[in-house]
Amino acid sequence: MRSGARTPSGRGHRVASVDQKASAVPYAVDPVLSDRIPTERYFDPDFYRLEVERLWPRVWQMACRLEEIPQQHDFVEYEFLDQSVVVLRTEDMGVRAFENACRHRGVRFVQGRGTCEHGFTCPFHGWCYGPDGTNAGVPRRKTFAEHNLQPGDIDLTPVGAKCSAAARGSTSTTTPRRFASASSPRQPSWTRGGSSRCGRSGGTRLVSL
């Protein structure tokens, strides 16, 4: 009811406006029909751009299943929008994740999955990194100014990683599925870095980024 409208009694009392603002979310889900998702969410380019800007950089990503990286130094690449992340099994059977970009020219240093016994080597100019992400070698090092080769500045950029479980089926007795997750490379810095310890018990696990 707008300001100045008459009340049902007809006495003409002025009342405050109670107009609701339109939803800021396009193609919003009707709360009365919460199981009905507007089809435009699946193909509308503007809605996709909003998801890229406001949703996906702020949520954990299911990067891989731990059975994809069962042994020490196994790795798998996870692609997120225009970003690429490497998920690595550590020596203590934990999980680490790094941006898949050499610190020299930003070239991706791995594709797909594999095993890196001694670390990674960028195919462009041969920069080397240990399994912990630290820089292990710079070809023609003397051609670089020393202030451009400070420890930490030339190490791989870490991405937050954690292990989690999801049950098969819906009963409390089902075997958990274990996953690895990672934070988006675009997330705030508090989600970056570190590693996740993953147990050895049975079931499928997931890594989240």
pLDDT, tens digit (0-9, with 9 covering 90-100), for 109-130: 999 999 998 999 999 999 999 9
- Our count of domains for the chain comes to 1
Predicted TM-score (pTM) of the model is 0.71
Which residues constitute the domain of residue 84?
Answer: 60-208
189 occurs within a structural domain: yes
Higher pLDDT, 56 or 195: 56
Higher pLDDT, 1 or 87: 87
152 occurs within a structural domain: yes
Could you tell me what percent of the chain has a pLDDT over 90?
57
For residue 96, the 8-state DSSP code is E
pLDDT at residue 103 tops 90: yes
Q: Which pLDDT score is estimated for 166? A: 58
3-state secondary structure the chain: CCCCCCCCCCCCCCCCCCCCCCCCCCCCCCHHHCCCCCHHHHCCHHHHHHHHHHHHHHCCEEEEEHHHCCCCCEEEEEEECCEEEEEEECCCCCEEEEECCCCCCCCCCCCCEEECCCCEECCCCCCEECCCCCEEECCCHHHCCHHHCCCCCCCCCECCEEEEEEECCCCCCCCEEEEEEECCCCCCHHHCCCCECCCCCCCEEEEEC
69 occurs within a structural domain: yes
The CATH number covering residue 165 comes to 2.102.10.10
39 occurs within a structural domain: no
48 occurs within a structural domain: no
Q: Rounded mean pLDDT of 192-197?
A: 53
Q: Rounded mean pLDDT of 189-196?
A: 46
Q: Which pLDDT score is estimated for 171? A: 43
pLDDT, tens digit (0-9, with 9 covering 90-100), for 20-60: 444 578 999 999 999 999 999 999 999 999 999 999 888 88
Q: Which pLDDT score is estimated for 179? A: 62
